[in-house]
Amino acid sequence: MSPRHEGAPRRLPPLLVLVRASAGLLVAGCLAGTLRSGPAEPSVALAFGLLVLLGELTRWRGPRLRQAAPLGAAGALAYALLGEYAGRPTHHGVAQVVAVVSAASVLGSVPHIACGRSPTLDHLARRVLTAAFAALCFQPLYDRGLLDTLAGPAYALLLLTLTALTALCDAVLAAALARARTGWPFGPQLRDELRALAGIGPAVCATGAVMALAVAVAGMWALPVLCLPLLLAQLSFRRYAAVRATYRQTIASLARATEIAGYTPAGHARRVAALSRAVGRDLGLRETELTVLEYAALMHDIGQLSLVDPVPAGATAGLPQAEQQRIALLGGAVVRRTGVDPRVATVVERQADPYAEQPVAARIVRAVNAYEERTREAGPCGAPAALEELRLGTAGDYAPDVVEALARVLARSV
| Predicted confidence (pLDDT) per residue in 92-129, tens digit | 999 999 999 999 999 988 887 777 665 578 888 999 99
**Are 122 and 213 within one domain?**
yes
**Are 240 and 274 within one domain?**
no
Q: Is the pLDDT assigned to residue 235 strictly greater than 70?
A: yes
Element containing residue 197 per DSSP (H, E): none
For the ranges 266-275, 379-388, 405-414, the maximum mean pLDDT occurs at: 266-275
Cβ-Cβ contacts under 8 Å for 289 (sequence gap 6 or more): 280, 360, 361
Q: Is the pLDDT assigned to residue 234 strictly greater than 60?
A: yes
Contact call for residues 104 and 50 (beta carbons, < 8 A): yes
Report pTM.
Answer: 0.76
Domain range for 344 is 256-413
Q: Hey, what amino acid is at 165?
A: L
Task: Of 82-86, 115-119, 243-247, give the lowest mean pLDDT range.
Answer: 115-119
In 3-state terms, the chain is what percent helix, strand and coil (to 5)? Answer: 75, 0, 25
**Are 222 and 336 within one domain?**
no
**Are 302 and 363 within one domain?**
yes
In 3D, which of 55, 407, 3 has the Cα closest to residue 228?
Answer: 55
Contact call for residues 275 and 372 (beta carbons, < 8 A): yes
How many other C-beta atoms lie within 10 A of the C-beta of residue 218? 15
Residue 47: its pLDDT value, please?
A: 93
- How does residue 370 score in pLDDT terms, banded at 50, 70 and 90? confident
For the ranges 63-72, 191-200, 286-295, the maximum mean pLDDT occurs at: 286-295
Residue 393: its pLDDT value, please?
A: 66
- Residue 125 placed within a domain: yes
**Are 183 and 300 within one domain?**
no
Task: Of 35-44, 117-126, 131-140, 148-157, give the lowest mean pLDDT range.
Answer: 117-126
**Are 154 and 37 within one domain?**
yes
Residue 314: its pLDDT value, please?
A: 65
* pLDDT (mean) for 128-135: 94
Cβ-Cβ contacts under 8 Å for 400 (sequence gap 6 or more): 391, 394
Residue 137: its pLDDT value, please?
A: 94
**Are 205 and 329 within one domain?**
no
**Are 227 and 311 within one domain?**
no
Rounded to whole angstroms, the Cα distance separating 175 from 180 reads 9
Q: Is the pLDDT assigned to residue 5 strictly greater than 50?
A: no
- Helix-helix angle 400-413:268-282, to 10 degrees: 100
- How does residue 44 score in pLDDT terms, banded at 50, 70 and 90? very high
- Residue 67 placed within a domain: yes
* pLDDT (mean) for 381-393: 76
Q: Is the pLDDT assigned to residue 66 strictly greater than 60?
A: no
* Cα dihedral value 135, 137, 143, 147, nearest 10: -130
- Residue 5 placed within a domain: no
**Are 197 and 284 within one domain?**
no
Residue 63: its pLDDT value, please?
A: 45
Q: Is the pLDDT assigned to residue 380 strictly greater than 70?
A: no
**Are 340 and 375 within one domain?**
yes
Q: Is the pLDDT assigned to residue 7 strictly greater than 60?
A: no
In 3D, which of 358, 347, 352, 292 has the Cα closest to residue 327?
Answer: 352
Domain boundary among 195, 225, 245: 245
End-to-end CA distance of the chain: 6
Label residue 221 exposed, middle or buried (CB < 10 Å: 0-12, 13-18, 19+): exposed
Residue 129: its pLDDT value, please?
A: 94
Number of domains making up the chain: 2
Q: By percentage, how much of the chain surpasses pLDDT 70?
A: 91
Average pLDDT over all residues of the chain:
84
Q: Is the pLDDT assigned to residue 351 strictly greater than 70?
A: yes
Domain boundary among 199, 221, 245: 245
Residue 23: its pLDDT value, please?
A: 92
- Helix-helix angle 93-114:42-57, to 10 degrees: 30
**Are 128 and 46 within one domain?**
yes
Domain boundary among 202, 217, 245: 245
Contact call for residues 247 and 291 (beta carbons, < 8 A): no
- Residue 165 placed within a domain: yes
Q: Which CATH number goes with the domain that contains 387? A: 1.10.3210.10
Q: What angle (nearest 5°) sits at the alpha carbon of residue 63, between those of residues 60 and 65?
A: 70
In 3D, which of 148, 262, 163 has the Cα closest to residue 210?
Answer: 163
Residue 58: its pLDDT value, please?
A: 79
Q: Hey, what amino acid is at 309?
A: D
**Are 206 and 276 within one domain?**
no
Q: What are phi and psi of 84, to 5 degrees?
A: -130, 155
Q: By percentage, how much of the chain surpasses pLDDT 90?
A: 29
